[in-house]
């Protein structure tokens, strides 16, 4: 780029003014005070494939280069050129952009003007050969020892957890919790959490005060024998906290959007936990589906919640996902491969070193994630499909057509027993 000539009477005064104007304009763009729902209603997410940018037929300005000789920097440059062309052609304003290396895609969030309607913008982008996928921005709902409260934990007590923990405790298994933030200083969790990151751009100041993720993490991995509170299903797991959701400060309901979920799932694939917990449900999304498929292909076990009353919960409906419901409401994910787990009045962790009873398929999902961790400790090579088949085949009860998990049977191997040896006292 040529530098501006500097002279006493030329552009010397103009250039600083242009810089100042640019700073002021940038500040106006980034300080958007509209409610997040209002902003997202006028946004779309589209992707451009790096394979398109690397196609020699597309590289018209670099005709001397062969497909195998193309440098990554050149591909990125051409990808950016394609993206800029799409934005100009469709009169869109870029909000943000990031790479999805695992899928070979560039992802762009763009906003359209007030005179356009969402359905038409999506249709026009879908007809553009340069665009790989296009989606609206969607909303997702989160479905909510010497330890003194152990006797209150009806779900784990009924499963003889102390005996099961003689077989496995989740040691050396890493679980990624894609949820709200969680209380990283909670005494039950602080030694379990090895990684945390916030992907919610409009909620960067909160993480440790978030309730839903704290409760989910507590069911999965609360410490055992620490003379505090409760015991998790897999008390020796390590936790990764991916904040893709936020807590509404008025209603206290937790929700997510597809943008934050996409960014979190890209990082999940990079961090490579053994299992990810998705205690959430929402509309079908192509790119989220692709990322979860990529995670599954890399050996990450995926556990997701079935929304009550929703016959086709996403992402629980995916065949790569272990779908979990409760005995309350609909428990079938829509793929016919669900499992039911305890999810009513579950005692778990809450922010500020506190505890509370929580209900819902979010808790059931965390419960199954914990059991999957126990199984992975014993057989690290188990795939998600193998875990799901085993959970369903070892169930001893059904509700309707859906099996109810039997933790003892799922974790123990042939010839083992996790049932305690008891002596029954009979009054004379």
Instruction: Return the active site residues.
Output: 179, 212, 362
Estimate the share of the chain in helix, then strand, then coil, as percent rounded to the nearest 5: 35, 20, 45
Q: What is the DSSP letter of 152?
A: G
Strand partners, 94: 110
* Max Cα distance, the chain (Å): 112
- How many residues belong to the chain? 428
Q: Which two tokens stand for residue 351?
A: 């922010």
- Rounded to the nearest 10 degrees, the angle between the axes of helix 258-271 and helix 286-297 is 10
Among the listed residues 149, 334, 122, 295, the one whose alpha carbon sits nearest the alpha carbon of residue 224: 149
- Whether the Cβ atoms of residue 119 and residue 44 lie closer than 8 Å to each other: no
Angle at 245 between CA 104 and CA 43, to 5 degrees: 60
Q: Which two tokens stand for residue 314?
A: 């996403």
Distance CA(66)–CA(228), nearest Å, equals: 64
């Amino acid at each position: 780029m040529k530098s501006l000539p500097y002279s006493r009477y030329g552009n010397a005064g103009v250039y600083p003014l242009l810089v100042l104007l640019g700073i002021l304009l940038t500040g106006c763009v980034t300080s958007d005070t509209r409610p997040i729902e209002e902003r997202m209603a006028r946004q779309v997410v589209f992707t451009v494939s790096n394979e398109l940018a690397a196609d020699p037929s597309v590289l018209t300005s670099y005709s001397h280069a062969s497909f195998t000789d193309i440098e990554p920097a050149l591909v990125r440059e051409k990808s950016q050129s394609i993206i800029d062309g799409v934005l100009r052609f469709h009169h869109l304003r870029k909000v943000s952009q990031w790479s999805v290396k695992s899928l070979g895609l560039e992802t762009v969030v763009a906003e359209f003007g007030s005179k356009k309607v969402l359905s038409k913008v999506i249709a026009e982008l879908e007809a553009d050969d340069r665009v790989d996928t296009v989606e609206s921005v969607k909303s997702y709902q989160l479905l909510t020892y010497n330890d003194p409260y152990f006797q209150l934990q009806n779900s784990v007590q009924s499963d003889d957890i102390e005996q099961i923990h003689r077989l496995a405790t989740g040691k050396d298994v890493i679980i990624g919790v894609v949820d709200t933030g969680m209380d990283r200083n909670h005494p039950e969790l602080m030694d379990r959490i090895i990684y945390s990151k916030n992907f919610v751009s409009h909620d960067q100041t909160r993480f440790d005060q978030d309730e839903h993720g704290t409760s989910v993490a507590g069911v999965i991995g609360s410490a055992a024998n620490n003379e505090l509170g409760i015991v998790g299903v897999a008390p020796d797991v390590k936790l990764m906290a991916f904040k893709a959701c936020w807590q509404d400060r008025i209603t206290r309901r937790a929700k997510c959007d597809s943008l934050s979920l996409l960014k979190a799932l890209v990082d999940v694939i990079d961090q490579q936990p053994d299992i990810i917990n998705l205690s959430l449900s929402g509309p079908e999304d192509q790119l989220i589906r692709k990322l979860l498929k990529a995670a599954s292909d890399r050996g990450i076990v995926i556990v997701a919640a079935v929304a009550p009353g929703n016959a086709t919960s996403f992402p629980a409906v995916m065949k790569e996902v272990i779908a979990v419901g409760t005995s309350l409401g609909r428990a079938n994910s829509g793929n016919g491969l669900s499992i039911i787990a305890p999810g009513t009045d579950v005692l778990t962790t809450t922010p500020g070193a506190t505890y509370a009873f929580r209900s819902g398929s979010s808790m059931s999902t965390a419960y199954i994630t914990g059991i999957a961790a126990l199984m992975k400790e014993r057989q690290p090579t188990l795939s998600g499909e193998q875990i799901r088949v085993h959970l369903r085949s070892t169930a001893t009860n059904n509700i309707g057509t859906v099996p109810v998990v039997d933790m003892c049977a799922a974790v123990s191997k042939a010839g083992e027993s996790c049932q305690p040896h008891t002596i029954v006292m009979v009054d004379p």
